[in-house]
Amino acid sequence: ADPTSAETCKGQREALPQVTVCPYGVLGTQLQERLVQSGPEPTPETVIVDPADLLYIQDMGPNAPGGAASFNYAWLGIKGTASFPAPVREAVRAALDAKFHDYGGGKLCIHCIGADFRDRVVTRGEALVELAQAYRAVLAEFASSGRPRLRLLPISGGLFIGEFAGELPELTAEAFDVGFSLLEPGQQSHVLSAELLEMCIFQEKELPAFTASFAARR
């Protein structure tokens, strides 16, 4: 069966993990009229997802000049260092790759390269397949980490979503579910037994659409 078909997803719906859509980014901050700490920082058993850039992972190191990645690297304690750890560089070599790393001191991260839909001609279905593969990779790394909590964010958000900007909430909810369906049974069991799966929404104005999109699929 086509794993992205409505029939397949409907048949799996009873086994889908529960995702809590949260009004803050993976570090607990949210962009309102200004940046505010609207949620708790990640606990020592919480894995955060970093929307990494392949150029920085492979060549420039954790030196992103701004944005979510820069805040993540400062929190992880690696901002300004020469390079990412070797296991991350070896595993993350192309779009849709992901790698978990324990930075010590309760700082846990999955670096993920999302799809870049700018200046590309792809159908919605093709975009869904790519996003689903990215979520599959992230969830597989979360399963291998053995940790109980995961803070996700919309992969390929911001500029990278291109012409699908208006559909990002729906695509995110769909792609997460399809990505989960692509996991091995043992990986699915870990995700289903997680204490908490959070989809973190950094911009306050985007929260209602993401909340509605995930609620519609549960």
pLDDT digits (tens, 9 = 90+) for 60-90: 999 876 677 888 999 999 999 999 999 999 9
Structure token pair of residue 77: 């304690």
Radius of gyration of the chain (CA): 16
Backbone angles phi, psi at 31, to 5 degrees: -90, 110
Residue 2 has pLDDT above 80, yes or no: no
pLDDT band at 34 (very low <50, low <70, confident <90, very high): confident
**Largest CA-CA distance found in the chain, in angstroms, rounded:** 48
Q: Is the pTM of this model over 0.85?
A: yes
Residue 196 has pLDDT above 70, yes or no: yes
pLDDT band at 37 (very low <50, low <70, confident <90, very high): confident
Beta carbons within 10 angstroms of residue 105's beta carbon: 9
d(CA 133, CA 179): 6
pLDDT digits (tens, 9 = 90+) for 97-120: 999 999 999 999 999 999 999 989
What is the strand order of the sheet 20-22 is part of?
Answer: 20-22, 196-200, 149-152, 46-51, 108-112, 98-102
Report the pLDDT value the prediction gives residue 40, as an integer from 0 to 100: 94
Residues in the chain, how many?
218
The mean of the pLDDT values for the chain is: 90
